[in-house]
Every structure is written in structure tokens, then in C-alpha cells.
Amino acid sequence: MSASFRPDIEGLRALAVSGVVAFHFGLSDLPGGFTGVDIFFVISGYLITGQLLREIAEDGRLDLWRFYARRARRLLPASLFVIFATLVAGYFILSPDEQSLYSKGAMFASAYAINFWLIRWSFDYFAPDAANNPFIHFWSLSVEEQFYFVWPGLLLLAAWLRPGKRTAILVIGLTGAVSFAVCAWLTTVAQPWAFYFSPLRAWEFAAGGLATMAPAKFWRERPQLGAALAWLGLALIAGAYLTFSEQDTPFPGFAAVVPVAGTVLLLLSGSGNVQRGPSAMLALPPMQWVGKLSYSLYLWHWPVIVYATMMVPDLSWPGRLACAALTLALSLFTYNFIENPIRRNGWLMANAARALIPAAMLTGAGVVATYANARLAVDGLDPSQRIIAETAAQPSTARAKVGCVVDYETVTPKACEFGAKNAERSIALFGDSHADHWSTPLIEAAKRNDYKVVTWLKAACRASRLTVWSSKLKRDYTECDQWREQSIKEIIALRPSLVVISEISLTSSRKLSPDARQSESLDQDWQGGLRATLEAFSQAGLKVAFIRDVPFNTLFVDTCVARALWRGQTPSVCDAPRTDAANDAMAAVERDIVRAVPNATYIDMTDRFCDAKTCHVFIDGKLAYRDRHHMATPFAQTLEPTVERALFSTGAAGK
């Protein structure tokens, strides 16, 4: 063991990985365990900056090949092994379309670039559920690897400008300050960029880098101060673990300062080699053992729990403990037979080329193999699987027209016209994506009756006058409020024959984001907001038809049905009890509100989805949903006669 080995840092790794694993395994008492990744970032900045600065000071240069060879031996073999093992296991668990999709994720993970893929994915409202992606945790490894490529150049620049610690502090500090400022700003306006984009996490590495500049002698001579700061650092990390929430805490931004500062304080305290207080706790044998396994534990824990919950959606605590045991067993195997032997291999350590050439070949092989798997998984696909994939991918009539369902950030409405050309009469369709999926049958019915349809649609923005918390934006969805009010004005100015409204039910939105910030008066606020929207149109002399929301499914229907067929089961295994899916109690409240408003009609088509006991996902030979709560477009087309009867045969649309 190196004389410079810091047992407190090994213990910090254990603390970090324990938080992440506990969070992902569903330990609700640690809702902020995800901040363990930030601890890893600070540790990396601390160790790598110190190592590089020492080499520059001693040799006047950096041997970058040797540096990258060490990183390759340390990280690459274990990560590629886990990637390939995860793909193999996925063959028996995932549907072919999922295998293809996640193989693309594995390809980006193999190249340490999956964070960029996830940024694009995060802004797609209809993207597959991230919780099902067995490679999503590789984002942090991608950020670290990108840091390793850029950071040595930054330190060489500092040395070239003016050798010495002061210049290095200035360059690292300035880089960190700019990174933090942009990160804090983007956390409030485009959170996925702040979360996944490596330059916006650079400030966390910089914090660790600045910590390595502090003189160890200062802390050695002040053990009591060091112990006090260590306790404060531990308290900050514990506070983040216990009080932060993935849903309620805008992250990273200012909130990330808490675990970052806590880690810096613990690193500073431990730099004086004073083993007391938290430093002594972190040096305990169990912490050292977990810290030693931390990389392998991090790699394995996520695919294990993801695949387990796919196979057993209501995984019990004994089941989760079994998953923890499996994770530990796989980690021990990986550490003892892959990670450590290759990292310490004398032949590979002899010179950089012996490590880098195989590393480049392995990386290339990983990218090629995962790309090939993505293609092969859907090559010669069974017709039923292909139909499901194509059905889920088919956009609604409105969404197929670019820009007609505006995104989260847009506040200016975009009205799109469909239906009968040159029609004198019009129908306005207004609401969120749950209004959008009615656009397909509504537009077809309007054509048959010589109406045009004009749409005002915005992702996740309900028609009811209600300010909601956006789990995606991690803040109040104020853009929705602005868009809604302007849309209402434009619809009233159009004077359509009928305004058709639909939106995700309040019960479904709670199921969709169970941890989202909720006010105690949300039910009353929603009722008042729905009434206010309906009355705005009614008082303007417009007729309104409110379409009840579709049932909500616990599982992603397209993947559930595809997996069922892949395993030789029937689609009915994905059906849900009506008591769970249909939201009947909330619909009754909604119906009373609508019927109390003059010129307003309530339209309920739930019986097309459910019988008295069960809500079905495969109806008349068609997939009913594209995900958990949006209708699949081919099935929506079959509802055109039902929509026509409800709106035109009854006279709801006027004459």
C-alpha cells in the first residue's frame, strides 16, 4: 500500500457509494442518497489535481500517456465487463425493441459519452422511462472520464502561464466559478443540461482540486480545528442524504454545494493525517472494505435493481435485500478477478503503450459490439413485436406536425389548423398531451362533418388554471401559466363552434410523480382552476366539451406487452384492475364541476377501455397505449365513430 494512502478517502468512497445504492434500492430514509455521486466528483478532483500538480512540480511536465494508461487500467476493464454482462442478461428480460434501444445506451456508455445521449433523451417528453435504462448510471463515469481528458491540459496551461501554486489556484478557481454560475442558472431553466453536461459539473472537481492546495501542515498543527470541521463536513453530507429529494430539490445548482462542501471539509481535515473523529470512523475496517469495492458496487447495483423490478414490479424488501446480496457477490467477483488484477498487472504497468493500445482496442470493440447488438436485436423481428414498436412510435395527428405540441420552455402559443379545408365552422382543441392524443379521432370526425380543428397544445400543461410543480424542470411550471392565459385569449378571439378540453387527471399526475411537491390545497385549487377555465369560455358564449382522461397504467404498456409476447405470454397479463386504473372517484368530482357550468358537456369514453372490473391494454387487436397514460395512435383512430357520436350526433358542436 502506498505511503500516501488516505484511509479516510477510502471511507469517503464507501460513504458515497452507500448513499447511491441505498437511494436506488428504495431506502426512503435516505431520499438524498443520489448526492453520493457528488462526493465521488470532489474526491476525483482532489486526487487527480494533487497527482498532476506534484508531477508538474517535480518533472516540469506531465506524462499524459502514463496518466491515461493508469486511468484505463483502473476503469475500463470492469466497466466493459458490466456492460456486456448487462446486455446478455437483457436478452432474457427485455423485449427486442428495448434491447435495441438500451444497446445504443451501452454504445455511448462504452465510449464514455452517455451523458450527452441522456441530455437529448431528457428533453423528449415521450422518451422511454429513464428508470428502465440499465446503463443510465454510466453518466457519472462519462463525466469523470471527460474531466480526465480536459483537466491535465488546464493545469498545464496554468503552469505555462506562470509556474506555481498561485496561478494554479487562480485558473482552477476561475474555471470552477464560471462552471458553478452557469450550472446554478441552468438548474432553474434547463435542469438536464446542468445535471449531465460535464463542463457544468467541473466546479465540483475544481472544489476538490482547490482543497489539495491547502497545506497539510496547517491541519496537522490544529487537530481540534480539523476534527471540528470534519464533524461539520459529515453533518453536511448527512443533511443532504436525509433532506434532499430527487423530486423536490432543484439539483445540482446551489443545493449541490452542501455535499460538495461537506466532502471538501472532510478531505481537508484528513490531509493532516489526524485520525480522530469522522476521519477515524471513515478508517474503520468495514468502511475500508466497502470503499475498496466502491467502483464495482457502483457499476453493478443499478442493472441488478432495474432488472429485478422489471421482473417483479412490486419487489418486496426481502427481494431488495437479495438484490443487494447479488450486487455484493458480483462486485467481489469483478474486483478480485477483473478490476484489481488488471489494474496491478506488472506487464501492463511496464509502459503506457501496453495499457493504452489494448484499452483503445477494447473501447472500439465495445462500441462496435453494442452497435451491432442494437441492430441485431430487431433484425428479423417477429411481426407482432414490430407492430407494437411501430404503434408506440406513431405520433398523433397533431404531434406529427412539427411544433404543434409546444415544449416546456415555450410560452407563446402556436395554433395549428387541421380538418376540412375552407370550413366555415371550427373546433378548438386545448390542453396538454392528453388533449393531443384525442386529436387523431377528433380531426377525422371534424372532416366528416365539414369542420376544421385548431389546436392549442403544450407538453404537461393542463387546461385548468392551476400552477403546478414540474418534476422535469424541478420548479413551478410558470411557462404553462403564461401559455395557458394567452391561449385562452386566442381561442375566445377565434369564436369556435366548440372548445374541446382534455387533460391528465389529478389522480394520474400524482401516480406519475408520486414524490412531486404537492400543496395541501391542491384538490381545491384544481377544482377552482378547472371551473375558472370552463367559465372563461362559457362566459364568452362558447360551448365546451370536456373529455374524461383515459385510465392510468402502472406499467409502460408497450414494453409490458412486448415483453409478454417475447416470453410467450398473452397481453392480458398487463391489464389493470379498474379500481387502480380508472380514477372513477376523481372523475365523479370532475363531472359535477363540468355539468355545473353553462354550455359545458362532460364526455366519458372509459367504457371503451374498461369493463366493470378490468381496464385492458390490448383492445380489438390493437395496443391501446403508447406508454402508461397516452393512447396509441392506431387505437385512437378506432375511436373516431365514438368521438363523432359524442360531439356531432348529440349537437355538442352546434349547427
Residue 650: pLDDT band with limits 50, 70, 90: low
Domain count, the chain: 2
Residues 542 and 447 in one domain: yes
Residues 359 and 436 in one domain: no
Q: What is the pLDDT of residue 348?
A: 84
Candidate from 203-217, 304-318, 510-524 with smallest mean pLDDT: 510-524
Q: What is the pLDDT of residue 277?
A: 79
Measured CA to CA, the distance from residue 304 to residue 94 in angstroms comes to 13
Q: What is the pLDDT of residue 515?
A: 61
For 50-65, how does the pLDDT look when each residue is reduced to its tens digit (9 = 90+)?
999 988 888 778 888 9
Residue 332 has pLDDT above 80, yes or no: yes
Residues 291 and 414 in one domain: no
Residue 339 has pLDDT above 90, yes or no: yes
Q: What is the pLDDT of residue 142?
A: 96
Please state the φ and ψ torsions of residue 52, each to the nearest 5 degrees. Answer: -70, -40
**What separation in angstroms does the CA of 172 have from each of 53, 151, 166, 204, 211?**
12, 9, 10, 11, 11
Interacting residues of 479 by C-beta distance below 8 A, sequence separation 6+: 408, 409, 410, 411, 461
Q: What is the pLDDT of residue 264?
A: 96
Last residue of a domain, one of 344, 377, 410: 377
Q: Is 108 inside any structural domain?
A: yes
Residue 598 has pLDDT above 70, yes or no: yes
DSSP 310-374: HH-TT--HHHHHHHHHHHHHHHHHHIIIIIHHHHT-HHHHS-HHHHHHHHHHHHHHHHHHHHHHH
Measured CA to CA, the distance from residue 78 to residue 343 in angstroms comes to 10
Residue 538: pLDDT band with limits 50, 70, 90: very high
Residue 232 has pLDDT above 90, yes or no: yes
Residue 622 has pLDDT above 70, yes or no: yes
Q: What pTM value is reported for the model?
A: 0.86
Residues 282 and 205 in one domain: yes
Candidate from 156-165, 283-292, 494-503, 523-532 with smallest mean pLDDT: 156-165
Q: Is 69 inside any structural domain?
A: yes
Q: What is the pLDDT of residue 652?
A: 65
Residues 17 and 160 in one domain: yes
Beta-strand ranges (E) seen in 471-620 are 475-476, 498-502, 544-547, 576-577, 600-603, 614-615, 618-619
Measured CA to CA, the distance from residue 569 to residue 617 in angstroms comes to 14
Q: Is 386 inside any structural domain?
A: no
Give me the domain span that covers residue 25: 7-377
Q: Is 629 inside any structural domain?
A: no
Q: What is the pLDDT of residue 550?
A: 97
Q: Is 443 inside any structural domain?
A: yes
Last residue of a domain, one of 317, 348, 377: 377
Residue 125: pLDDT band with limits 50, 70, 90: low
Residues 231 and 124 in one domain: yes
Candidate from 196-200, 370-374, 528-532 with smallest mean pLDDT: 370-374
Q: Is 646 inside any structural domain?
A: no
Residue 445 has pLDDT above 60, yes or no: yes
Measured at the CA of 364, the angle between CA 363 and CA 367, to 5 degrees, comes to: 85
Q: What is the pLDDT of residue 516?
A: 63
Q: What is the pLDDT of residue 378?
A: 86
Q: What is the pLDDT of residue 185?
A: 95
Q: What is the pLDDT of residue 471?
A: 77
Residue 655 has pLDDT above 60, yes or no: no
The 3-state secondary structure of 259-272 reads HHHHHHHHHHHHCC
Measured CA to CA, the distance from residue 317 to residue 25 in angstroms comes to 9
Q: Quote the percentage of the chain above a pLDDT of 90.
A: 72
Q: Please give the residue that has the higher pLDDT: either 314 or 131.
A: 314
Residues 373 and 410 in one domain: no
Residue 3 has pLDDT above 60, yes or no: no
Last residue of a domain, one of 347, 377, 407: 377
Candidate from 105-119, 263-277, 412-426, 600-614 with smallest mean pLDDT: 263-277
Residues 159 and 302 in one domain: yes
Residue 274: pLDDT band with limits 50, 70, 90: low
Q: Please give the residue that has the higher pLDDT: either 269 or 544.
A: 544
Residue 323 has pLDDT above 90, yes or no: yes
Residues 153 and 77 in one domain: yes
Q: Which of 135, 70, 108 is nearest to 359 (CA)?
A: 70
Residues 483 and 355 in one domain: no
Residues 356 and 401 in one domain: no
Q: Is 232 inside any structural domain?
A: yes
Residue 400 has pLDDT above 80, yes or no: yes
Residues 52 and 186 in one domain: yes
For 126-170, how does the pLDDT look when each residue is reduced to its tens digit (9 = 90+)?
666 666 899 999 999 999 999 999 999 999 988 888 888 889 999
Q: What is the pLDDT of residue 162?
A: 84
Q: What is the pLDDT of residue 2?
A: 54
* Averaged pLDDT of the chain: 91
- Give the CATH number for residue 438: 3.40.50
Measured CA to CA, the distance from residue 550 to residue 609 in angstroms comes to 8
Q: Is 565 inside any structural domain?
A: no
Residue 653: pLDDT band with limits 50, 70, 90: low
